[in-house]
C-alpha cells in the first residue's frame, strides 16, 4: 500500500493569475496543464515533486515556490484551501 502526506496552505499563497491558471488546468474543457492537479471545493490539490526544466518554465514562480516549500517540509502534496492559514515562509497575495 502506498501512502503520502500533504499540507494545507491558504490560496493567498498564489496570485489571482495563478489561481485562474490552476482553474483552467483542471477544467473539463482542458487537456490539462504541465502538472496534474485536482480541484477541491475550496481550492486545488497540487503535487510537490520536482519537475523537469521544460515543465518548470510553464509553472508560475509563486506556485513553484509553494511546491518547493512543501517538498522541503516533507510533504507529497499541497492542498490549497481558501479558508486555510498562510505561512510566513511564502509570499501572500491579496486578491
* Mean pLDDT, residues 6-15 taken together: 98
**Portion of the chain with pLDDT greater than 90, in percent:** 85
C-alpha cell at 25: 488546468
- Sorting pLDDT into bands at 50, 70 and 90, what band is 30? confident
Quick one: the chain helix, strand, coil %, rounded to 5?
30, 20, 50
Are β-strands 43-47 and 77-81 bridged in parallel, bridged antiparallel, or unpaired?
antiparallel
pLDDT value of residue 2: 82
For 45, other C-beta atoms within 10 Å of its C-beta total 16
Question: For residues 79 and 8, what is the distance between their CA atoms, to the nearest angstrom?
Answer: 5
* Mean pLDDT, residues 44-72 taken together: 96
Amino acid at each position: 500500500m502506498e501512502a503520502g502526506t500533504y499540507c494545507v496552505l491558504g490560496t493567498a499563497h498564489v496570485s489571482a493569475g495563478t489561481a485562474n491558471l490552476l482553474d483552467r488546468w483542471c477544467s473539463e474543457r482542458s487537456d490539462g496543464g504541465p502538472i496534474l492537479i485536482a480541484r477541491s471545493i475550496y481550492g486545488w490539490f497540487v503535487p510537490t515533486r520536482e519537475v523537469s526544466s521544460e515543465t518548470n518554465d510553464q509553472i508560475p514562480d509563486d506556485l513553484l515556490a509553494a511546491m518547493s516549500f512543501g517538498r522541503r517540509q516533507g510533504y507529497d502534496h499541497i492542498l490549497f484551501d481558501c479558508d486555510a492559514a498562510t505561512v510566513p515562509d511564502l509570499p501572500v497575495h491579496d486578491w
